Structure 1
Amino acid sequence: MSVGIVGLGLIGGSIALGLRDKTEVIGVDLDSQTRKIAQEKNICHIVTEDLSLLKETDVVFVAVPLDSVETVVKQLSHFPCVVADVGSLKYELSVELNDVANYIGTHPMAGREKGGISAASGVLFENALWVVDSTKDEALIARVTPYIEALGAYTFLLDPKTHDHMVGAVSHLPHLVAVALTLAVKRISQDDDRYFLMAAGGFRDTTRIASGDPYLWNQILTKSPYLKEAATVFSEVFSELAQVEDLTYLLNEACLAREKLPYRGKGVIGEVFSLVIEVVDRPGAIGEITSILAKEHINIKEIEILRQREGESGPLRLGFATSNKALEALELLEQQGYKVQARW
C-alpha cells in the first residue's frame, strides 16, 4: 500500500513525514523549490509533479489551497484510490463534489502559524482531532481512518455543515481576533516600537496566529460561511465587557467556560496526567527532555508550552496516559535536575 499527497506545504509535508516510516509516500507539488526541499530532506519516497503516479495509491490526501481543491479532486476522481482533502471548510466542497464517488472531506485540527514545507513536522497531528465527513459511505471512512490514526490523530466524525459552524467559532474567529488585536495595538502605538517591546506572554500568545500565511488565511476567512455570525456575537460580548463597571461575573463565566477545553481531566482524547517542568528557553531544551523519556520508552500524550517569555525560564506541560507513567517521568526528570510538578 502507498499514500499520495498533493501539496507539500505545512499540512501535506507533515502528513508525509508522519507516514514515511509506515508506508510508501508519493508527494506531488508543482513548485520546483518545494520539490527540491522534499527530496533533500527525504520527506517522501517519491517526489514528482505528475498526478498520474498516484493512480495505484490507496489514499491521496489533497493539501492544496481551498480554491484549488475542487480541481485537483476532479483530476483524481477516475483513480481507484480514496481522495481526502484536508481543507478548513467542508460544506461547499461536499456539495460541489457530491458526485465524486471516491472523495471524502476531512480536516485535521492542527497547524502552526508558519506555513510551507520547511515548517512541516511528523508529529504535528499527535493527539489532534481529525474531522472526517460522517455523511460519507462507511467504506470510504474505513479506508482513510487507519492513515489518520497512524499519524497519531483521533478520528472525529462530523457532518460538513456542523463542522463549518464550529470552526467558524473556534478557528476562524480567533484568527480574526488575533489580527484585529495586532492591528489595534499597532495603531494605538503610532509606530512607537516600545509598545511591542512591552508585550509579554498574554499578547504574544493571543496574537501568535496572526503570523499565518496571509494568502491562505484570506481564502479561509473570506469563504467561512459562519464567520460573520461568530464575529457579531464576539462584538456584542466585547461591547458588554467594555461597558460594565464590574467585570467579575463575566470574568468568572469565561474562566468556567475555558475549563471545558479538553487538555485537562477527561476530554475527547481521554484522561491526561500532566507534569509541569521549568525549562530554559534555548535551542534543544525541549528535545533533551523528550529524549530522556524516549530512552525509557515513556510516551508523551500531550505537550504544551505555557506562558513563556523568550530568553527566560518557563513552564512546559507534558501529558501522559497513566499516572504511573507520569510519576515515572517525574522521577527521571528530577534525577536529571529538572524542577517538576505533578498536576492531576
Structure 2
Amino acid sequence: MATPDFSQLGGNTEPEKKSFWSRPEGILGMIALAGLAGFALVNVNQILEFLIRATSNVLELALLLGVLGVVIFLITSRDVRTAVFFLFKSLMRTLTGTVIQLNPIAIMKIYIDDLKKKRREMQGQIDTLAGQLVKLNKRINDNNESIKQKFAEANKANNMADRPGMREQAQLATIEGAGLQEMNEKLLPLQRNIQMVLAFMEKVNQSADYIIKETEIKVRLKETEYQIVKESSNALKTAVSIFKGDPDKKFYFDESMEYIQDDMSRKLGEMKRAMDLSMDFINGVDIQNGILSDKGQALLEAYNKGEFKMVQLDAPKANPITAPQPGQLNPPKDAGYRNLLD
C-alpha cells in the first residue's frame, strides 16, 4: 500500500534557497576575485617571468632526472655491466697485445728489472728488520742488567732496613725490577717473532736471487732463439719475395714497365710519322738530283764535243758622260754592270 505524501499540506515550510553569489560570502568572494584579477593585471610581467622560470626549472629537473634514471639503469643492469666489462677487457687485451708485439723481449727484461727492484727493496727491509732485532736484543739485555742492579739495591736496602727510608727504597727497587722483568717477558715473544720473520725473509731473498738468475737465463735463451727465428724468417721472406715479389714494389715495377712500353710506342709512332712525312721531300730531292744529274751529264757531253757555250758578259760601252772622273770611286753602272750585278 503506497504511503500518502503530506508535504503539500499546509504549504511549503522550508525557506527559499539562494545561490552562493547572492549570499554575503559570495559577494565577498567576488570582491576578492576582482582584487586578485587587478593584482594580476598590474603584475602580469613579473607573474609571466616567474612562470617561465618555473617551467624552465621543471624542464631542467625532468631532464636531469631522466639522465639520472638512465645512469642508474646502466649501473644496476647486469647485462649492461657485463657488456661494458667484456668491452673493456677486449680493449685492454688488444692494447696489451699491441704493446707485446712491439718488443716482447724488452717487456721480459722490464719484468726482470722489476724483480730486481723488489729484491733490493726486500733487502732494505731485511736490513731494517735486522737493525730492529739488534735494538730489541740490546733492550732486553739492558733490562736484565737493570733488573740485577735493582734487585741488588733492594737487597742492600733490606739489609739496612733499620735505617729510615730504606724499606721504601727496597720496595721501589723491587717494583722497578719487576716492571723491567714484565717488559722483557712481553718483548721476548716479539723478539722471537722478528727472528722467525727475518729467517723467512732471508730464505725468500735467496729464493728470489735464484728465480731472478733462472729467469735471466731463460730470457737470454729466448732472445737468442727469437733472433735466430726472426733472421731465418726474414731470409725466407727474401727468398720467397724473389719469386712472388713485394706487392707494393711489384706494383710500381709493373707501372714503370707499362709507362716505358707506352712511351716507346708513342715515340716509335712519332718516328714513323716523321719518316712518312719526310719521304715525300726526300723523293722530291732525289728526283731533282736525278734531273740535275742528267742535265749535267748532257752538258758534260756537249762540253767534250765542243758544243758547250758558256755564258758571256756583254762588253761595256764607252760613254763620255758617264766616264769616271778623277777621285770618283764607283763608276756609274752601265748595262754590263747591271747584268753582272743582277
Q: Give TM-score scaled by structure 1 length.
A: 0.16
Considering fraction of residues, name the structure with more strand.
1
Considering fraction of residues, name the structure with more helix.
2
Q: Which has the higher contact order (CA 8 A, sep 6+)?
A: 1
